[in-house]
Amino acid sequence: MGIWILNGKLLDASGKETTGHVLVENGKIAAVTAGQEQPDTTGHEVIEAAGKLVSPGFIDMHVHLREPGFEHKETIASGTRSAARGGYTTIACMPNTKPVIDTVETVKLIQGKAENEGNGVKVLPYGCISRNQLGRELTDFEALKDAGVVAFTDDGVGVQSAQMMKDAMKRAAELGMPIVAHCEDETLVVGAPVSEGTFADKNGLKGIPNESEAIHVGRDILLAEATGVHYHVCHVSTEQSVRLIRLGKQIGVKVTAEVCPHHLLLSEEDIPGMDANWKMNPPLRSKRDVEAVIEALEDGTIDIIVTDHAPHSEEEKAKGMQLAPFGIVGFETAFPLLYTKFVATGKWSLGFLIERMTSKPAEVFGLESGRLQVGSDADLTLVDLETEKEVDPAAFLSKSRNTPFTGWKLKGWPVLTMVGGKIAWTETNE
Ligand X SMILES: NC(=O)N[C@@H](CC(=O)O)C(=O)O
Among residues 145, 166, 182, 219, which is the contact residue for Zn ion, using CB under 5 A? Answer: 182
Q: Environment class of residue 325 by beta-carbon count within 10 Å: exposed (0-12), middle (13-18) or buried (19+)?
A: middle
Neighbouring-strand partners of residue 384: 52, 413
- Exposure letters 351-364 (e unless 16+ CB within 10 A, then b): bbbbbbbbbbbbeb
Site for Zn ion in 53-112 (CB under 5 A): none
| Position 182 contacts ligand X (CB under 6 A) | yes
Among 60, 154, 289, 308, which one carries the catalytic annotation? 308
By CB under 5 A, which span of 132-140, 180-188, 216-224, 407-415 interacts with Zn ion?
180-188
Exactly one of 135, 156, 178, 209 binds ligand X (CB under 6 A); that residue is 156
Q: Using the rule CB under 6 A, is 310 a contact of ligand X? A: yes
List all residues 6 or more positions away from 40 whose beta carbon is below 8 Å from its beta carbon. none
Smallest gap, in angstroms, from Cβ of residue 120 to ligand X?
Answer: 24
Q: Which listed range, 16-24, 270-278, 325-333, 341-349, lies at the site for ligand X (CB under 6 A)?
A: 325-333
Q: Known catalytic residue: 308?
A: yes
Distances (CA, A) of 332 to 60, 392, 415: 12, 10, 11
Decide if residue 356 touches ligand X (CB under 6 A): no
Please identify which residue in 64, 81, 85, 171 interacts with ligand X, judged by CB under 6 A. 64
Nearer to ligand X, 155 or 332 (CB): 155
- Which residues face 422 on adjacent strands? 419
Say if residue 262 carries a ligand binding annotation.
no
Instruction: Tell me: does residue 196 bind Zn ion (CB under 5 A).
Output: no
For the chain, what is the radius of gyration of the CA atoms? 21
Distance CA 174, CA 166 (A): 12
Residue 96 found at the interface with ligand X (CB under 6 A): yes
The long-range contacts involving 222-227, CB below 8 angstroms and separated by at least 24 positions, are 223/162, 223/165, 223/166, 223/169, 224/169, 224/179, 224/248, 224/253, 224/254, 224/255, 225/251, 225/253, 226/166, 226/169, 227/166, 227/169, 227/170, 227/173
**Which CB atom, from 53 or from 180, has the smaller least distance to ligand X?**
180
How far is it, in rounded angstroms, from Cα 20 to Cα 24? 13
Q: Is 327 in the site for ligand X (CB under 6 A)?
A: yes
Under the criterion CB under 5 A, does residue 316 sit at the interface with Zn ion? Answer: no
Is residue 155 near Zn ion by the rule CB under 5 A? yes
Q: How far is the CB of 69 from ligand X (least distance, A)?
A: 11
Positions marked catalytic: 308
Residues near Zn ion (CB under 5 A) are: 155, 182, 234, 308
Residues near ligand X (CB under 6 A) are: 64, 96, 155-156, 182, 280-281, 308, 310, 325-327
Question: Residues annotated in the binding site, as ranges?
Answer: 62, 64-66, 96, 155, 182, 235, 281, 308, 312, 326-327
